[in-house]
Amino acid sequence: MFEGRFPELLIIFVVALVVLGPHKLPQVAALIGRWLGNARAMARQFRDQLEEEAQNMQRPVADPTRPPPPPAAPVTPQAPAATDSATPDSASHERGA
């Protein structure tokens, strides 16, 4: 319908100026600007929510009827095993020195 060409916009402006008058036209233009800003913000939020939901649908879903796996047992460090090789200190004690 309206493609935004200059002659069409000029006709709309002249009609609005005649109908609203020069005193109310800036107030109405500001109000329309706020409405358009709010509409764009709501459209942006809607688009962001849709994109977020689309990403959530790509993630694997856990089966709600299956219990969650048990937590892993904490790993505790173990002492090193004793070796049969004698150290110089232990060898001197064994000889009775």
Q: Is residue 88 part of a domain?
A: no
Q: pTM of this prediction?
A: 0.46
Question: Both tokens of residue 16?
Answer: 């609005």
Report yes or no on 32 lying in a domain: yes
Going by C-alpha positions, the residue among 50, 40, 44, 13 that lies closest to residue 29 is 13
59: left (phi over 0), alpha (psi -120 to 50) or beta: beta
Query: What are the structure tokens assigned to 31, written together?
Result: 């109000």
Range of the domain at 42: 22-60
Which residue ranges of the chain lie beneath pLDDT 70? Answer: 1-4, 60-63, 79-97
34 lies in some domain: yes
pLDDT in tens, 17-38: 899 888 998 999 899 999 999 9
Residue 72, in any domain of the structure = no
36 is a domain residue = yes
Query: What's the number of domains the chain is made of?
Result: 1
- Reduce the DSSP state of residue 75 to 3 states and report it: coil
Inside any domain, residue 40: yes
